[in-house]
Structure 1
Amino acid sequence: MRKPRDIDSELRALAEKTKGLKARKITQLGEVVAATGADALDVETLAGVLLSAVEAKDGAKEEWRRKGADFFQRARGGGASRSRAAQHAQGAP
């Protein structure tokens, strides 16, 4: 005869895993903000930019996705530093 499953403990384990994944996602989002130099922006400006991105049309989002992919590609190759990203965010060439 099979041992009955402890559904409550399985649900608790899943809830803990979900909590850990959410915390990891928040940490990664913060790392992206810092890596791009967006941490130099005030909170209201950053929130406004993100809200505009959420409301944007798909064509613009696709362009931003490509630009972001290029950024991470350069970062992996050592070509993009935080200081360069911060300079770019502030409008310096």
Structure 2
Amino acid sequence: MRKVRDYDAELKALGDKARALKAKKVQQLGELVTSTGADALDVDVLAGALLHIVAEAQVEGNREAWRSDGAAFFQRRGRKAVGGNADHRQGAGETPTGDAQN
């Protein structure tokens, strides 16, 4: 005889996994904003810049140029992390001296 599946438990587990993945994505996007220095911009400026980027992303040449720039950024960042650059280990909102920004 077959074992009865608990569909409600499976759906709940999938929902929990989806929420965890969404939270991880949001955290990674925040880390990306911080690591690129875009957190120094006003929220309105950053949102406007992102809206312009989305509109311009339809042009294939733009996407390829952005992709290569992004890959180069992550390659440089990876080498710096191996070298022990302290700037990338600081928490969000800290200055190089470790003081919290307001």
Q: TM-score, normalised by structure 2?
A: 0.75
Cα root mean square deviation, aligned:
1.6
1:13 aligns with 2:13: yes
The whole-number CA distance in structure 2 between the counterparts of 1:61 and 1:39 is 22
Give the structure, 1 or 2, with the largest relative contact order (CA under 8 Å, sep 6 or more): 1
In structure 1, the gaps of 5 or more residues are 83-93
Matched pairs, number: 82
Q: Which runs of 4+ in 1 moved over 4 A?
A: 79-82
Q: Following superposition of structure 1 onto structure 2, how do residues 1-93 of structure 1 map, counting pairs within 5 Å?
A: 1-56=1-56, 57-78=59-80
Identity of aligned residues (%): 54
The whole-number CA distance in structure 1 between the counterparts of 2:24 and 2:75 is 22
The whole-number CA distance in structure 2 between the counterparts of 1:17 and 1:3 is 24
Q: TM-score, normalised by structure 1?
A: 0.82
More helix by share: 1
**1:7 aligned partner, one-letter code:** Y
Give the C-alpha shift of residue 3 in structure 1.
0.5
Give the C-alpha shift of residue 58 in structure 1.
2.0
